[in-house]
Structure 1
Amino acid sequence: MSADRFAGCDGEIETLRQAIKGCRLCRDAPAKGEGDRLPHEPRPVAVLSTTARVLIAGQAPGLRVHESGLPFNDASGNRLRDWMAVSREEFYDPGRFAIVPMGFCFPGYDDKGGDLPPRKECAPLWRARTLAAMPQIELILAVGGYAHAWHLGSRRKKGMTETVMNWREYFFVNQGPRVLVLPHPSWRNTGWLRKNPWFEADVLPVLRQNVDSLIRGTNFG
């Protein structure tokens, strides 16, 4: 299975897909100058769709995703799929989910072996165009702090915990797609999940009900 699969390939989406696939901006024109070039060959990973009603807005691919070309093809993806109560087959069906991270390419590792933040070149160039090409999106799952910052702007709280704790402020808004803020499903947040049981009790039922309604047509009244 490949992330290049598309649900519907109208001209605009296909043109955009090819442009993203060929992007080398972080290697050839890095935002911070020559010393900040992406140190490896870029491999943009994103799934666009003309029919999906749910958009997963993550951070940036990890090394395993970079190697496979398949978004969330790792333990974080397993946890995210469990949060949503969807199968792997459903998750990778572009008729059900669009997957557009803040950065399309694996950014590399920092000095401590952790993933670097999403590249600064990517979102300003691609994000508005990508979202405009998918006007059918009804729910945006903003996964992690970088997605929170982009999709909430000045409405974001000071930290991730406070932002997710106040999810209702962003979700129950009658303008544009609903935005549901989530922590990143990385193993690094396992301790956070244990300390914040309200997330599983309060947020996950809402997440599962809305995803179920949008990808399976279930009506919860």
Structure 2
Amino acid sequence: MPPVTSIGEPQRFEALREAIEACRICRDEPRYGPPLDHEPRPVFQLAESARICIASQAPGIRAHRSGRPFDDPSGVRLRQWLGLTDAEFYDASRIAILPMGFCFPGLGKTGDLPPRRECAEVWRPRVFGRLSNLKLLVVIGSYAQRWHLGHDATQQGLTETVRAWRRHRDDTTPSVFPLPHPSWHNNRWLKLNPWFETELLPVLQADVRAVLL
């Protein structure tokens, strides 16, 4: 995991959340490539009491506009995968939503650009060092999986990482469930990997419910 930068550590958790909300590193002090070409708007959900964390990629354009994570059809599918209502999903006291890049990264030629690398380096060690109640980590997509599971566990690609979900669930603390992105662009992947819905999702939903009880 990349080292923590020299930015001061907020003493109060609320101050940490406020610092993330005010972050403009990708726009004002970019470390990798050109600055963000639009006004930053960090989109996340965070409370120190959270027991489940959804580690995702980066907000899309709809979430950027609304300021609400997974405020799009992908979010509808993700909530179905988790077995959660909208009210449960957006209960920050129980569920944190922390993308690898907090701001919409902009559009590329074939879709959204990758998440900005500055975010993870600056904020991820701080945030996860303070989530002492975390029991379950849902890791969506290859960017988040590489960060949270490491190179060795993800070097064979997303499909094999997700296929090894039992090992990640049983051998990590907190328990980790690697998932593909719930985008409708992954419909073909879901058809090619029916075990995801028949084997993984029932266990994930049961674990989510058990953690939230």
TM-score (norm 2): 0.92
**Distance in structure 2 (CA, Å) of the matches to 1:38 and 1:17:** 21
What is the letter of the counterpart of residue 197 of structure 1? P
* Cα RMSD, aligned residues only: 1.3
TM superposition shift of 1:50: 2.0
Q: Tell me the secondary structure at the aligned position of residue 37 of structure 2.
A: coil
Query: Structure 1: which 5+ residue stretches go unaligned?
Result: 1-10
- Work out which of the residue numbers 129, 150, 155 in structure 2 matches 1:132: 129
Q: Tell me the secondary structure at the aligned position of residue 12 of structure 2.
A: helix
- 42-51 vs 114-123, which moves further: 42-51
TM superposition shift of 1:168: 1.5
- Work out which of the residue numbers 101, 104, 117 in structure 2 matches 1:103: 101
Deviations 1:79-128 (A, max 9, x none): 0000011100110011221111111000001023x011100111000001
TM superposition shift of 1:68: 0.5
What is the letter of the counterpart of residue 167 of structure 1? W
For residues 36-47 of structure 1, what are the structure 2 equivalents within 5 Å?
36-47=34-45
**Distance in structure 2 (CA, Å) of the matches to 1:46 and 1:32:** 22
TM superposition shift of 1:31: 1.8
**Distance in structure 1 (CA, Å) of the matches to 2:130 and 2:50:** 12
| Alpha carbons 1:148, 1:181 under 8 Å: kept | yes
Query: Structure 2: which 5+ residue stretches go unaligned?
Result: 1-10
**Distance in structure 1 (CA, Å) of the matches to 2:79 and 2:156:** 27
- 42-51 vs 61-70, which moves further: 42-51
For residues 19-168 of structure 1, what are the structure 2 equivalents within 5 Å?
19-33=19-33, 36-112=34-110, 114-153=111-150, 154-168=152-166
- 69-78 vs 94-103, which moves further: 94-103
Is structure 2 residue 196 aligned with structure 1 residue 199?
A: yes
TM superposition shift of 1:157: 3.7
**Distance in structure 1 (CA, Å) of the matches to 2:48 and 2:38:** 31
TM superposition shift of 1:156: 1.7
What is the number of equivalent residue pairs in this alignment? Answer: 203
In the alignment, which residue of structure 2 is the partner of 1:209? 206
| Alpha carbons 2:46, 2:93 under 8 Å: kept | no
**Distance in structure 1 (CA, Å) of the matches to 2:60 and 2:108:** 12
Q: Tell me the secondary structure at the aligned position of residue 172 of structure 1.
A: helix
Deviations 1:49-88 (A, max 9, x none): 1222100001000000000000001001000000011100
**Distance in structure 2 (CA, Å) of the matches to 1:124 and 1:44:** 15
Deviations 1:108-157 (A, max 9, x none): 01023x01110011100000101111111010000111111001102224
Q: What's the % identity of the aligned pairs?
A: 51
- 163-172 vs 203-212, which moves further: 163-172
TM superposition shift of 1:46: 1.4
